[in-house]
């Protein structure tokens, strides 16, 4: 069952989601290969994690690799997967020491066995950590997540495990990748682009959106502090008026 935010009616975010956009443009502006932008962008992930911990935000979800990203040039995808393996190994100890729980969502069948092994190890090691739940969307697509949930429900209905007539939005959420975490309170997208790019399409229904003209590798924890301040001034109505 999905966790319920204990800050639902407050002006402080319980869950921040980020579309990390601009790595390629950052590298191009500097005459560097695209992978250099991705490496620099990893530093900004640390900035975001630190900002969330320092500002008592218990959930952070980042969009690391979409299902559409598999169509990028093979060399870039290979380099990204190698970078992912490197950071899953190097960062794991620090995440655990900082009481951070790691959660991976997406189509794991598309990932290699060695990456899945590292993911399983990381999730098992950090599963009891409490200070921050860091969710990384890998090989993730929002539409596919919803389709997969619908398939699971259809199969459950065929097996008389669920009554389709009684199915509602709350029950449907139990079949999503994010069943154990609350919906995001705010979404940040860097680089100035203003679209969701197939990210958390169900979960972002009432999320406050922040689009900033900063390329992801230039993103710092102060950006999150400023956005939280802006968020605190908004009035959330959840479609009631």
Three-state secondary structure call for residue 84: helix
Specify whether 23 is catalytic: no
The answer to whether 96 and 132 are in contact (CB under 8 A) is no
Specify whether 69 is catalytic: yes
Residue closest to 143 by CA, chosen among 188, 198, 186: 198
Given the residues 55, 69, 98, 198, select the one marked as catalytic.
69
Given the residues 6, 9, 14, 21, select the one marked as catalytic.
21
Q: How far apart are CA 94 and CA 107, in angstroms?
A: 26
Three-state secondary structure call for residue 73: coil
Taking CA 133 as the corner, what is the angle to CA 236 and CA 218, rounded to the nearest 5 degrees? 75
Give the pair of three-digit tokens for residue 117.
């092994």
The answer to whether 61 and 18 are in contact (CB under 8 A) is yes
Q: What is the set of active-site residues?
A: 21, 69
């Amino acid at each position: 069952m999905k966790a319920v935010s204990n800050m639902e009616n407050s002006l402080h975010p319980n869950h921040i989601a980020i579309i990390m956009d601009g790595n390629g443009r950052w590298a191009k502006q500097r005459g560097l290969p695209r992978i250099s932008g991705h490496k620099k962008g990893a530093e900004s992930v640390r900035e975001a994690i630190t900002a969330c911990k320092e500002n008592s935000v218990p959930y952070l979800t980042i969009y690391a690799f979409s299902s559409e990203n598999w169509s990028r040039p093979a060399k870039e995808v290979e380099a990204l997967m190698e970078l992912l393996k490197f950071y899953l190994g190097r960062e794991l100890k620090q995440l655990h020491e900082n009481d951070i729980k790691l959660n991976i969502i997406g189509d794991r069948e598309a990932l290699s066995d060695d990456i899945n092994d590292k993911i399983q190890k990381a999730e098992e090691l950090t599963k009891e950590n409490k200070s921050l739940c860091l969710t990384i969307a890998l090989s993730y697509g929002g539409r596919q997540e919803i389709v997969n949930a619908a398939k699971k429900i259809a199969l459950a209905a065929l097996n008389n495990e669920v009554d389709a007539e009684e199915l509602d939005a709350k029950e449907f959420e139990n079949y999503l990748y994010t069943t154990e975490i609350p919906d995001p309170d705010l979404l940040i997208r860097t680089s100035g682009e203003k679209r969701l790019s197939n990210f958390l399409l169900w979960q972002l229904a009432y999320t406050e959106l922040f689009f900033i003209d900063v390329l992801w590798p230039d993103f710092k924890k102060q950006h999150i502090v400023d956005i939280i301040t802006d968020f605190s001034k908004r009035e959330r109505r959840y479609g009631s008026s």
